[in-house]
Structure 1
């Protein structure tokens, strides 16, 4: 019998269209996926060609390149791309490759240039990718320079303040792909946010193991028991075609399995404080705190003109997390969002890079801040005046991502080792892992199509 999660009514307060479940629900069956997807090199090579080379990929926030000539590099698998703002505010994406001898053009994460100059032989290219200068052109036969010597560009489009690129010239427009969730994402005004923290760490697992771990909260009680006093694992999952999904993660109340449903513990006290409630004078129980956080945020919005009337109650207290196939997640809050990207290794299916950044929208108002649980320290520049450096830790180094994420980085290599065993015959997903089954169903659909 299929468990009906409609009775997991996590929403409190006034009904809101944002919280409505997607109907008809997508049923991805009960099959077992081939575990080779987690470790087989042939599968990895085919996956690159059929999935990554033919999908929209989240390259980064447009706020990272506000002025003409600003660029950032986007490295994924064996490829590197330059994302640059050109003339007339247009954003372009080029392979980070000189057409002369194949050298990387730029080797930094960020920069600002009026043109790109190859470090090998000084060929020059404008921001749109056109070759504008060849060193010693008289030493080339004219027939050689008649070949296309511009940079190779790829599809590049912007939606909700985020830059997406695709190596597939025939792919549908990005806003058409995102259409089922685009109005929801637009509510958060991500285009007005900027990066305040950016970290990368190399993990000893397949990138899909990262997607799997971050697309469900079924594991919280086992891997992150410290979260059970302030995060509920009764949740709502919604699925859309194309591998898109959404999950509500309720905050500021204990999980149902947590033994103490009354005490306002230190974790919930922090969330009350975030909302402008003094925990020392709070007289309610943990059964009321989530609702009271929502009410307090509405009062703050009314007093300061924050515009929270467009949000549902759940959006004010919870994390609303979207999965963007294949490898992106966006966790949305009115004040800040987080981006997770699970970047496949160039050649080893047993490694991936976890890339995470937090974007914040500054409002000069008392008490307004990013959620405290995001872990932004006092040293973080919240003004947007300085784009933080990317902190990158290598494989085997302590990632320093915070207690919860460090626990994930410790566990995933153990899961990866088991996934390679002959004794593992493929995952058995519960309904709590519906986003995982949906992701892998889309992966299978892509892998089954012709090259």
Structure 2
């Protein structure tokens, strides 16, 4: 049988540049058809929690959410909740959000600031480092009881590129070692200088892996999001690294290769031109040429404002460069802002997950500089960083209000989930366009079968 070369669709998306270089060596994850139980079986879900989530680095949130001593946020995933807090010494730590006395949650707020944690049940007190400060009526406890340990239980906590990760396993390799293949790339975006300007959370009627799958490929755009075909290409560059890490370039400000009209500059491309500082009314090129125009315009703006965009490739200036961090995170990177997507498993139902999305922005006080309009920031959003927006949480069954494209995904995924539970479905058949999905599931299977 003749070997096929699939690089005719898996394209390089920009001029030669070190950032655009292909990942080597190339990883081949084979052609196996995985067991569909992973999407709906409760036993698989329980084993997955112990073997994957409890043994992986998990993105808890941006460090910019806790800039001062005593600032904290809570991170809830599956059956667990964690307190991530900045100590008096400036160090960020994480503790299980559990009082060692009777198991009560210590805090219920998404964010806050305090100099100590007090259990709402019996008023036991703990400092920011997790040490017990006071046991109410301590004289009524036998010393042999308290000697079992009455400090908070802490977990590993490390920070990379301004993002806080936690890990429940003491034996997992350090965060920097795991992220090493992509860490220099992420550092280019100065995420540590960004802050949250929008945070939305919604419950979806599907398995969390269905969310990961949908966000890790552009194969579905023509069918589910046909409105995108006139302004973004679904022929992309995909790169894979060990440990379930991957990257995908999604070219913006040009029509998809399959789109029949490569000439008309539609409203979507006009908006992207405007974001880059180009007056769409004065633009005389075609839709297919707009992407290059956006790249040139952003370089001119960088020179004028001293933004340092010379560190970026042309592709980074116009496109969405999306990274997958195993198991449940995707980061869409742009010079002005980033998208954080987290797919949080339900505590006990494999047919539900919570989609958590943040937009982080770096403020530059200059005319025309802003986050890309297509990110869908709400009217009146405070872009100054002066206020941390509240988390808008939409329950299952209610319209998530995430914008046209994401709402289409939330409508479709329950339909896909229902089919995944059918006896007639024997597991996914992935194309090369879905290489990031196969890579993710290969890592999942490796973790599930590891000793």
TM-score (norm 2): 0.99
Q: What secondary structure, in the 3-state scheme, does the structure 1 residue paired with 2:64 have? A: helix
What is the Cα deviation at residue 24 of structure 1? 1.7
> Which residue number in structure 2 is paired with residue 121 of structure 1?
122
What is the Cα deviation at residue 23 of structure 1? 1.8
Matches within 5 A, 1:352-367: 352-367=353-368
Structure 1 residues 215-264: Cα deviation after superposition (integer angstroms, max 9, x where no partner): 00000000000000001001000000000000001000000111100111
- How many residue pairs are counted as aligned between the two chains? 449
- Post-superposition offset of 1:170: 1.3
Give the match for residue 85 of structure 1.
86
SS at match of 1:289: helix
- Verify the 8 A CA contact 2:12 2:20 in the aligned structure 1: no
Does structure 2 retain, via aligned residues, the 8 Å contact 1:10–1:250?
no
CA contact (8 A) 1:336 1:358 kept: yes
Which is worse superposed, 372-381 or 217-226?
372-381
- Cα deviation for residue 8 of structure 1 reads 4.6
Aligned ranges 1:122-201 → 2 under 5 Å:
122-201=123-202
Match runs of 1:198-213 below 5 Å: 198-213=199-214
Q: Quick check: 1:415 aligned with 2:416? A: yes
Partner of 1:402: 403
Superposed CA offset, 1:154-176 (max 9, x none):
00000000000000011111011
Q: Which residue of 2 aligns with 1:392?
A: 393
C-alpha displacement of 1:4: 2.3
Kindly indicate whether residue 6 of structure 2 is the aligned counterpart of residue 4 of structure 1.
yes
8 Å Cα contact 2:203-2:354 kept in structure 1: yes
Q: How does 1:209-358 map to 2 (within 5 A)?
A: 209-358=210-359
Query: d(CA) in 1 for partners of 2:400 and 2:4?
Result: 39
- For residue 279 of structure 1, give the secondary structure of its aligned residue in structure 2: coil
Gaps in structure 2 of 5+ consecutive residues: none
Contact 2:9-2:236 at 8 Å conserved across structures: no
- Counterpart-to-counterpart distance in 1, 2:290 and 2:427: 40
How far apart are residue 381 of structure 1 and its match? 0.3
How far apart, CA to CA, are the structure 1 residues paired with 2:52 and 2:124? 33
**Unaligned stretches of 5+ residues in structure 1:** none
Contact kept? 2:10, 2:238, Cα under 8 Å: no
User: Helix, strand or coil for the counterpart of 2:32?
Assistant: coil
Aligned mates of 1:120, 1:377 — CA distance in 2: 39
Contact 1:338 1:358 in 2 (8 A): yes
1:370 maps to what in 2?
A: 371
In structure 2, the residue matched to 1:20 is 21
**Counterpart Cα distance in 2 of 1:281 and 1:126:** 60
- Give how far 1:378 is off: 3.1
Aligned partners of 1:15 and 1:190: how far apart in 2?
25
- The answer as to whether partners of 1:63 and 1:191 remain within 8 angstroms in 2 is yes
Is the Cα contact below 8 Å between 2:219 and 2:434 reproduced in 1? yes
In structure 2, what is the equivalent of residue 54 of structure 1? 55
CA distance in 1, matches of 2:80, 2:4: 42
Alignment deviations for residues 418-444 of structure 1 (CA, whole Å, 9 cap, x no partner): 000000000000000000000000000
Hey, what's the Cα distance between the residues in 2 that align with 1:142 and 1:440?
Answer: 49
Q: For residue 158 of structure 2, give the secondary structure of its aligned residue in structure 1.
A: strand
| Structure 1 position 274, deviation (Å) | 0.5
- Residues in 2 aligned to 1:153 and 1:314: alpha-carbon distance in whole angstroms: 41
Per-residue deviation, 1:333: 0.2
> What secondary structure is seen at the aligned counterpart in 2 of 1:287?
helix
| SS state at 1:342 partner | strand
SS of the equivalent of 1:132 reads: strand
Question: What is the distance in 1 between the residues matched to 2:45 and 2:13?
Answer: 40
1:157 is paired with a residue whose SS is: strand
Partner of 2:176, secondary structure, is helix
Other structure's SS at 1:288 match:
helix
What is the CA deviation profile of residues 356-410 of structure 1, one whole-angstrom value per residue up to 9, with x for unaligned ones?
0000000111111000100113310000000000000000000000000000000
Q: CA deviation at 1:2?
A: 3.6
Alpha-carbon separation, structure 2, partners of 1:151 and 1:143: 18
Contact kept in structure 1, 2:10 and 2:433, CA below 8 Å = no
**Structure 1 length normalisation: TM-score?**
0.99
User: How far apart, CA to CA, are the structure 1 residues paired with 2:162 and 2:173?
Assistant: 19
Q: Tell me, in whole angstroms, the C-alpha distance in 2 between the residues paired with 1:2 and 1:162.
A: 40
C-alpha distance in 2, partners of 1:298/1:43? 49
CA shift for structure 1 position 138 = 1.0
Give me the whole-angstrom Cα distance separating, in 2, the residues matched to 1:116 and 1:372: 40
Say what the alpha-carbon RMSD is for the aligned residues.
0.9
In structure 2, C-alpha distance between the alignment counterparts of 1:237 and 1:139, rounded to whole Å: 62
